[in-house]
């Protein structure tokens, strides 16, 4: 049998190719991978691991995204080729089809509940912060909901842009500021002028005379109704006093 001799000193001088250690860590589940994707919103950097997508950002460069990920997520990151099907799942998610899995490790149970509830808001619709607080069983935690959404590590795909202030004002947005929020909502079909006109008039809900149901102004329930069949309310008590019941789809109030 032939004897193979190794020069351990020479082996010790061999350097691994750049990024080799990070790729090994990613394959072992100890680091996340990332790539940049062209989307309807422009280039978006997306990080993922075995559990799902872990972060997203419209960054100026790979270096900026990597630095933000290290500081905010706290794990190592390596650039890689995306797995098969991820690009199509991203496109579908932005079109309102929920096909993506997410890794929300590191977030508090409260923040995870906020983000998972936000995922339920349909494309082309908006909900107030108070709606999320009520839906997750913490009706008084409206400010905390806002904080959780401001720190959403996966904007665009977990659609925090679909959450607005209770007075109907669009509000701020961690994924690029108010203008970016308006642009994305417009792209999704939200009639911002109508929404803002109602907000300025102090009108929070719309009802349909034929169904006696009241909704949030972007709910699809009343979209087929004629304009003359709409009636608007300042608050829930006004709507109920007029004999209207809350919509079971958008749930503007607790459904008895």
- Write out the H or E segment, with its range, that includes residue 86: helix 86-94
- Backbone dihedral angles phi then psi of residue 206, each to the nearest 5 degrees: -125, 140
Side-chain-side CA neighbours of residue 129 (13 Å):
20
Cβ atoms 55, 62 nearer than 8 A? no
Q: What is the DSSP letter of 102?
A: B
Catalytic center residues: 160
Whole-angstrom distance, CA of residue 24 vs CA of residue 72 = 22
Residues in the chain: 256
* Residue in the structure block whose two tokens are 């790729």: 23
């Amino acid at each position: 049998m032939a004897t193979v001799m190794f020069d351990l000193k020479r082996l010790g001088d061999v350097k691994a190719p750049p990024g080799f250690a990070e790729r090994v860590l990613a394959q072992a589940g100890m680091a996340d991978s990332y790539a940049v994707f062209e989307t309807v919103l422009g280039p978006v950097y997306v990080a993922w691991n075995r559990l799902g997508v872990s972060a997203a950002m419209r960054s100026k460069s790979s270096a900026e995204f990597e630095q933000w990920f290290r500081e905010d997520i706290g794990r190592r990151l390596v650039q890689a080729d995306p797995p098969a099907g991820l690009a199509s799942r991203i496109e579908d998610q932005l079109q309102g089809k929920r096909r993506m899995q997410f890794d929300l490790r590191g977030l508090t149970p409260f923040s995870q509940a906020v983000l998972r509830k936000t995922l339920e808001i349909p494309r082309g619709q908006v909900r107030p912060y108070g709606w999320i607080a009520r839906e997750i069983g913490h009706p008084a935690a409206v400010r905390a909901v806002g904080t959780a959404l401001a720190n959403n590590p996966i904007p665009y795909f977990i659609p925090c842009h679909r959450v607005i202030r209770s007075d109907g004002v669009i509000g701020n947005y961690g994924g690029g500021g108010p203008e970016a929020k308006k642009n994305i909502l417009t792209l999704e079909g939200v009639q911002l002028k109508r929404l803002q006109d109602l907000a300025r008039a102090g009108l929070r809900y719309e009802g349909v005379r034929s169904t006696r149901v009241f909704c949030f102004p972007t709910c699809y329930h009343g979209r087929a109704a004629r304009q003359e069949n709409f009636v608007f309310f300042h608050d829930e008590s006004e709507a109920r006093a007029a004999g209207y019941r809350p919509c079971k789809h958008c749930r503007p109030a607790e459904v008895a």
